[in-house]
């Protein structure tokens, strides 16, 4: 899988080297992808910190197994070390006896038709989505309860076997995550990450003994309840707190909102404000036909990252305007790790199957009551 370099948080270069060495030697196989994502992010944010020494104090270290996301182009300073990280995590050598990619079967690269994008109708569509969000059933999460999100997802990545690289995909698989309102307790079942089919805890403190605070890149429900619901103020906060992340400020703002829609539980008052804020980001377009990971057709609110050539799409039901899922589609040809990624390649695809409030850890909605 590819790393999400906008997610995680700073560490010193010597710590990066120690983590890389320790990861390669000691970690259970199912944890390699998580630490790859964290290392890639630490590299990116160290570069960001050096370029923006006058910026405010960086957010606390992230602590969650976040949804995998396609890699973005890193600054040149980070590129060399990022290649080392990638090689250490996804390369299979010695006749295929090296580290495995994950517990999910692999197949050929995912592809799709590149739909037509247009700026026409963007405000109207986002208004309709915002109204639908405001009218939807959105219960408040109480202390002692858990937010449950079930999704299916797949991704395309560069796979290297004995120095030969090609595009491959992790096959569509189910992901279940539980999180307490304060973000301190959680559980994840995802065969692409876990060693055991039972999953593993996300409860804090983490493996390093840290109990980091929630922030925009890794929010808890309680954190989201404190965000402003004024779209202009909300968007200003997003730009401020993601300064220096991503390829451009506009793309990072769009991605940040998209991540909040995907695997968090925005309170009823905040949910419409997210769409109203998104409408103010330059470059947002509509894609009339987009398909989520579950095969459901919908209309997408999207934005093209000119640097990576990937178009990030949020997919909604055409009639009800309910959020279905998201995907990242390559629309401009790109070479990554010596492999050509052609237009139509689906770098990441996800569909939300269930999002609910439950009374116990590892309890599914069907078990409630």
Q: H/E element holding 134?
A: helix 122-135
Q: How far apart are CA 321 and CA 131, in angstroms?
A: 9
Burial of 268 (0-12, 13-18, 19+ CB in 10 A): middle
3-state secondary structure 323-359: EEEEEEEECCCEEECCEEECCCEEEEEEEEEEEEEEC
Q: Which residue has the higher pLDDT, 63 or 135?
A: 135
Q: How far apart are CA 69 and CA 259, in angstroms?
A: 10
Q: What is the pLDDT, as a whole number, of residue 12?
A: 35
Pull the structure tokens for residue 358: 């439950």
Q: Which residue has the higher pLDDT, 311 or 3?
A: 311
- Which is nearest to 347 in space by CA: 306, 319, 311, 301? 311
Q: How far apart are CA 19 and CA 36, in angstroms?
A: 10
pLDDT at 29 over 70: no
DSSP string for 227-268: S---HHHHHHHHHHHTTT-SSSHHHHHHHHHHHHHHSS---T
How are beta strands 146-161 and 91-92 bridged, if at all?
parallel
pLDDT per residue over 179-203, tens digit each?
Answer: 999 999 999 999 988 989 999 999 9
Q: How far apart are CA 191 and CA 278, in angstroms?
A: 32
Q: What percent of the chain has pLDDT over 90?
A: 62
* Collapsed DSSP state (helix, strand, coil) of residue 207: coil
Mean pLDDT of 100-112: 82
Q: How far apart are CA 249 and CA 238, in angstroms?
A: 9
Q: What is the pLDDT, as a whole number, of residue 284?
A: 98
Mean pLDDT of 342-369: 91
Specify the DSSP class assigned to residue 29: G
pLDDT at 358 over 80: yes
pLDDT at 15 over 80: no
Q: H/E element holding 152?
A: strand 146-161
- Which is nearest to 319 in space by CA: 128, 166, 160? 128
Q: What is the pLDDT, as a whole number, of residue 212?
A: 84
- Which is nearest to 249 in space by CA: 259, 264, 238, 257? 238
């Amino acid at each position: 899988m590819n790393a999400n370099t906008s997610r995680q948080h700073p560490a010193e270069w010597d710590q990066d080297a120690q983590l890389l060495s320790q990861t390669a030697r000691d970690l259970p196989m199912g944890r390699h992808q998580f630490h790859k994502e964290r290392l890639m992010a630490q590299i990116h944010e160290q570069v960001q910190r050096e370029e923006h020494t006058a910026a405010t104090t960086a957010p606390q270290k992230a602590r969650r197994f976040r949804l995998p996301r396609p890699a973005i182009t890193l600054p040149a300073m980070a590129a060399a070390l990022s290649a080392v990280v990638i090689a250490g995590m996804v390369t299979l050598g010695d006749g295929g006896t090296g580290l495995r990619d994950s517990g999910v079967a692999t197949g050929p690269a995912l592809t799709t038709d590149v739909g037509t994008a247009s700026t026409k109708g963007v405000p109207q569509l986002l208004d309709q989505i915002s109204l639908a969000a405001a009218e939807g059933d959105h219960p408040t999460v109480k202390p002692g309860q858990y937010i449950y999100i079930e999704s299916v997802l797949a991704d395309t990545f560069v796979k290297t076997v004995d120095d030969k690289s090609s595009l491959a995909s992790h096959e569509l698989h189910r992901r279940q995550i539980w999180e307490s309102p304060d973000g301190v307790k959680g559980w994840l079942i995802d065969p692409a990450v876990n060693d055991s089919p039972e999953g593993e805890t996300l409860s804090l403190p983490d493996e390093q003994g840290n109990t980091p605070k929630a922030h925009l890149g890794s929010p808890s429900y309680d954190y989201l309840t404190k965000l402003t619901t004024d779209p202009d103020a909300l968007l200003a906060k997003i730009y401020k707190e993601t300064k220096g992340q991503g390829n451009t400020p506009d793309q990072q703002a769009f991605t940040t909102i998209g991540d909040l829609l995907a695997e968090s539980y925005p309170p009823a008052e905040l949910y419409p404000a997210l769409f109203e804020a998104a409408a103010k980001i330059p470059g947002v377009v509509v894609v009339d036909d987009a398909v989520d990971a579950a095969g459901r057709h919908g209309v997408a609110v999207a934005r093209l990252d000119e640097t990576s050539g990937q178009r990030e799409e949020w997919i909604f039901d055409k009639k009800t305007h309910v959020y279905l899922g998201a995907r990242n589609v390559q629309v401009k040809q790109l070479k990554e790790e010596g492999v050509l990624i052609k237009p139509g390649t689906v770098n990441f695809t996800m569909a939300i199957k269930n999002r609910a409030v439950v009374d116990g850890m590892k309890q599914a909605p069907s078990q409630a009551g």
